[in-house]
Amino acid sequence: MAKGKIFLTLFISIMMGLGALILANNWLQSKQANLNSQTKPSEPVTQVEVQIKEVMKEEPKVPRVTAQQRIPLGTKIEAKHLSIEYYPTDLVSTKGYETPEQVVGMLARNEIFEGDLLRKERLVTPGEGTTLAALISPNMRAVTIRVNDVIGVAGFLLPGDFVDVIYTKEKSNNAVTVLKKIKILAVDQTARTDDSKPVIVRAVTLELTPKQAESLVTAKSKGELQLSLRNPNDIEKIKTKRVYRRTTDAVTIIKGTDTSRVNVRI
């Protein structure tokens, strides 16, 4: 009987010890879980960020051909000049190109810088004419004049620059600017601007309207021409003609069938 009580007491002690051990283990696990929850970022914020990124990725985009490098004026477009970028549909115009095959072989109408979108108004198709003919704007003419190192601004003229044309009549000290902000299409026989080094040239080709072309040829036959290089961003100030109000020192007074003029001071 005494042995049975001893075994019962021992069994109860063991069970109570196991229960205390289980409770202590559960308490430690709950504490560790609380610490982990405090150190990790909150789940709702992470979910929101992921949702925003997914929405941005799902926004419809279209391919557009861009310049991978600088393309000088008059350059024939090659595959090495091009790259493809994707833009949202509401941020790009319909005048761009989607594939390089649409652009290769065309000519750059103006200088194109790295990263620029290639649009239709910036390129021309060579066609059957010369490269220079393809670069002339609609309704414009190309006129070439002979120059020297003085007239040609010491060789610093390049295709794409803008100049003023100054005319000096023979046996006269008066100079007049006959044409302003005229675009240079080519120097000598090149329409490309591969570098900005000064080169002595013998001829410069200008882009003119038919009326300007007549004025230039007439001025050239009667005197000397000088080119003045200008900043293409210059805004020409338009001088308005002063208008004077016409005044009179007398008025006509009509009384019935009688008329008379009376002098007045204004």
Q: Is the pLDDT of residue 41 over 60?
A: no
Q: Give SS3 for 232.
A: coil
Residue 128: pLDDT band (50, 70, 90) is: very low
Helix, strand, coil content of the chain in percent (nearest 5):
35, 30, 40
φ/ψ (deg, to 5) at 13: -65, -40
Q: What is the mean pLDDT of the chain?
A: 76
The DSSP-derived string for 69-110 is: S-B-TTPBP-GGGEEEEEEEGGGS-TTB-SSGGGTTT-EESS
Q: Is the pLDDT of residue 233 over 70?
A: yes
Q: Find where tokens 């549909």 sit.
A: 89
pLDDT at 202: 80
Residue 264: pLDDT band (50, 70, 90) is: low
The pLDDT of 239-257, averaged and rounded, is 58
The answer, as to whether pTM is greater than 0.85, is no
In tens, the pLDDT along 61-108 reads: 889 999 999 988 778 899 999 999 988 887 777 788 999 999 998 888
Name the residue with higher pLDDT: 121 or 68. Answer: 68
The pLDDT of 182-193, averaged and rounded, is 74
Q: Is the pLDDT of residue 4 over 50?
A: yes
The pLDDT of 48-73, averaged and rounded, is 72
Q: Is the pLDDT of residue 11 over 90?
A: no
Domains (range + CATH), the chain: 61-124 (3.90.1210.10), 139-230 (no CATH)
Q: Is the pLDDT of residue 141 over 70?
A: yes
Distances (CA, A) of 20 to 8, 11, 23, 28, 30: 18, 14, 5, 12, 16
At position 142, the amino acid (one-letter code) is A
Q: Is the pLDDT of residue 266 over 80?
A: no
Q: Is the pLDDT of residue 197 over 80?
A: no
> Quick one: what percent of the chain has pLDDT higher than 70?
68
pLDDT at 26: 81
